């Protein structure tokens, strides 16, 4: 809390993140690209990123922005001999992924992964442990996390830590880092994101003229889930991330047409089949996204025997059944939908070359997640990844960082869990993807929709949750719910019409006129 409060109180926040816009001039010409999968327009965004000196937003729009960040870091280190890069994210798992990608091409002696003192050494990924490029001592005398002094840190060119842990660098001299990257910025609380910004970046002088030595890059997707808060009092103030505020506030440079001097959009989508991408692209991304998914993956279920339309890997199963709740619970479940989820999961696994880990089941209610797991276990689908937190539906811990900078999402990503079928909330799937995703929406009573709206539950009236849920599937999307309830949400109505047009409807028939809402 002290570190977050310090970020908010810093005069840097009030003297402006933005400085005057100078013309873009390429000072550094890029080296040969390290990642050969990058295309021409993406290479331009990298060149722009390397040469800008002030501030930049990378809006990733469903793309794996981590690869772009890693490539940018490799270029910076290879081109700028004096550069020193700090990379931060809200979760340890995201930090580890970036660190591993950078290790592919940069000498491990130049990279240092900083963990908090409370982090469990067993959770350090094998690749990072192998190279020893982390701050965990292994001898008995100094077992645990050790933070090296400024002299030793100067020998490293890339330092990776969570946002919360980055406060430990506050004793470093101003301008110690030439570049500060913040990944996952779209669902990070603004005060948390300000910790490295306000403590580590070089200062403004009295005329608010920025020293040209530090470059801040915020990366993420503001159309996906923002910060998850458990306090109704804090929500009006902290539910909008720093990245979203800067892109949407009237004083920020994001106004259509957006200012390309500040914002770089990554518009190639390498994940989704184009029919799955179509609705999110239209509703959230101004139809700017282009499909570049590998057909070997994205078309894996085209012509699947259970598809209603063999060319469209989407099924909406209209299920009209009563939702219930246990006497001492506030969370709802729907047994008929749970059985339908099982039916489709078994059909997918019957393909033979599909693993349980290729399937994800998403539902907004904790009670429904528990029921689905029980149904699966009864049918000998035993490797079900458990994600119970003991929290109520409206207290999702997936995006709430712990003191050591970890999040609940980190706890489910151990090596022994990666082969399991995950049943969980939308928040738990943020940043993840599956070959097949099955959605269970649960709701069958219009009278309860207002309750969900007040408590920010369910899929209805929550566009970001809807977007994340639909865009986790790479090759097959199966939605189970009551169409006459879902149609009361404008985004779901567009999806239902999309399904009806492509004749991908299963379950209880619905007259087309009923979708005119």
**Ramachandran area for residue 224 (φ above 0: left; ψ -120 to 50: alpha; else beta):** beta
Q: What are phi and psi of 123, to 5 degrees?
A: -90, -5
Q: Classify residue 337 by burial, with Cβ atoms within 10 Å: 0-12, 13-18, 19+.
A: buried
Q: What are phi and psi of 285, to 5 degrees?
A: -125, 20
pLDDT of residue 402: 34
**How is residue 246 written in tokens?**
């800067």
Q: Is 38 helix (H, G, I), strand (E, B) or coil?
A: coil
The residue whose two tokens read 């990366």 is: 219
Find the helix or strand (DSSP H, E) in which 360 lies: strand 359-362
H runs (alpha helix) in 231-311: 235-238, 242-248, 274-284, 295-298
**How is residue 414 written in tokens?**
């151990």
**How is residue 184 written in tokens?**
């996952």
Alpha carbons 11 and 44: distance in angstroms, whole number: 34
The residue whose two tokens read 């801040």 is: 216
Beta carbons of 204 and 15 less than 8 angstroms apart:
yes
Note if the bond before 257 is cis, omega within 30 degrees.
yes
pLDDT of residue 61: 66
Beta carbons of 379 and 442 less than 8 angstroms apart:
no
Residue 498 CA, chain-centre distance (Å), reads: 26
pTM of the shown model? 0.78
**How is residue 92 written in tokens?**
């340890």
Alpha carbons 467 and 224: distance in angstroms, whole number: 6
For residue 349, the 8-state DSSP code is H
Kindly give, in sequence order, each residue whose CB lies less than 8 Å from that of residue 184, ignoring residues fewer than 6 positions away.
89, 90, 91, 94, 219, 220, 431
Three-state helix/strand/coil letters over 94-138: HHHHHHHHHHCCCCHHHEEECCCCCCCHHHCCHHHHHHCCECEEC
Domains along the sequence of the chain with CATH: 2-15+23-266 (3.40.50.300), 274-515 (3.40.50.300)
Q: What is the mean pLDDT of each run of 10 residues along the chain (517 residues)?
A: 51 45 41 52 51 64 77 87 90 90 91 86 86 67 67 90 88 83 90 83 53 77 86 84 81 52 81 95 91 93 96 96 82 92 94 90 92 86 48 36 37 46 88 92 73 60 90 96 90 94 92 67
Count CB-CB contacts under 10 A for residue 369.
27
Alpha carbons 341 and 335: distance in angstroms, whole number: 10
Q: Which long-range contacts (CB under 8 A, 24 or more apart) does 392-396 make?
A: 392/330, 392/331, 392/366, 393/330, 393/331, 393/364, 393/365, 393/366, 393/455, 393/457, 394/230, 394/455, 394/456, 394/457, 395/230, 396/228, 396/425, 396/427, 396/428
Kindly give, in sequence order, each residue whose CB lies less than 8 Å from that of residue 43, ignoring residues fewer than 6 positions away.
30, 33
């Amino acid at each position: 809390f002290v570190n977050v409060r310090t970020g908010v109180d810093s005069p840097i926040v009030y003297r402006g993140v933005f400085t005057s816009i100078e013309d873009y001039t390429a000072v550094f010409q890029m080296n040969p690209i390290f990642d050969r999968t990058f295309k021409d327009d993406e290479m331009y965004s990298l060149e722009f990123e390397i040469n800008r000196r002030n501030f930049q937003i990378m809006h990733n729009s469903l793309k794996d922005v981590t690869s772009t960040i890693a490539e940018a870091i490799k270029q910076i280190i290879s081109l700028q001999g004096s550069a020193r890069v700090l990379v931060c994210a809200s979760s340890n798992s995201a930090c580890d992924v970036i660190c591993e990608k950078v290790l592919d091409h940069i000498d491990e002696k130049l990279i240092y992964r900083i963990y908090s003192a409370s982090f469990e050494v067993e959770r350090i990924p094998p690749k990072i442990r192998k190279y020893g490029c982390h701050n965990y001592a292994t001898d008995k005398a100094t077992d645990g996390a050790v933070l090296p002094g400024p002299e030793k840190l100067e020998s490293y060119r890339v330092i990776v830590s969570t946002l919360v842990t980055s406060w430990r660098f506050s004793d470093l001299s101003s301008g110690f880092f030439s570049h500060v990257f913040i990944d996952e910025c779209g669902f990070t609380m603004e005060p948390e994101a300000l910790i490295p910004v306000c403590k580590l970046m070089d200062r403004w002088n009295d005329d608010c003229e920025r020293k040209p030595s530090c470059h801040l890059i915020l990366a993420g997707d503001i159309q996906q889930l923002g910060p998850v808060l458990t306090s109704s009092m804090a929500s009006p103030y902290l539910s909008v991330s720093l990245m979203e505020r800067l892109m949407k506030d009237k004083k920020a440079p994001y106004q259509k047409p957006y200012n390309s001097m500040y914002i770089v959009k990554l518009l190639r989508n390498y994940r989704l089949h184009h029919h799955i991408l179509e609705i999110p692209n239209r509703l959230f991304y101004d139809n700017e996204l282009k499909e570049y998914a590998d057909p070997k993956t994205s078309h894996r279920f085209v012509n699947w025997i259970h598809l209603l339309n063999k060319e469209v890997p989407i099924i909406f199963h209209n299920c009209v059944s009563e939702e219930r709740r246990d006497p001492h619970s506030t969370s709802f479940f729907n047994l008929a939908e749970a059985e339908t989820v099982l039916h489709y999961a078994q059909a997918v696994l019957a393909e033979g070359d599909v693993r349980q880990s290729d399937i994800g089941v998403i539902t907004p209610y904790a009670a429904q997640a528990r029921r689905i797991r029980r149904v699966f276990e009864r049918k000998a689908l035993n490797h079900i990844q458990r994600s119970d937190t003991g929290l109520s539906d409206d207290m999702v811990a997936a995006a709430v960082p712990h003191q050591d900078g970890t999040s609940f999402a980190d706890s489910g990503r151990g090596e022994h869990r990666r082969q399991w079928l995950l049943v969980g909330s939308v928040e738990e799937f943020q940043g993840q993807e599956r070959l097949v995703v099955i959605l269970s929406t649960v709701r069958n009573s219009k009278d309860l929709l207002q309750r969900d709206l007040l408590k920010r539950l369910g899929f209805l009236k929550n566009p970001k949750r809807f977007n994340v849920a639909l865009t986790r599937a790479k090759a097959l999307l199966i939605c189970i719910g009551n169409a006459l309830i879902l149609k009361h949400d404008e985004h779901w109505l567009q999806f239902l019409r999309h399904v009806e047009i492509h004749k991908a409807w299963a379950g209880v028939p619905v007259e087309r006129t009923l979708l005119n809402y």
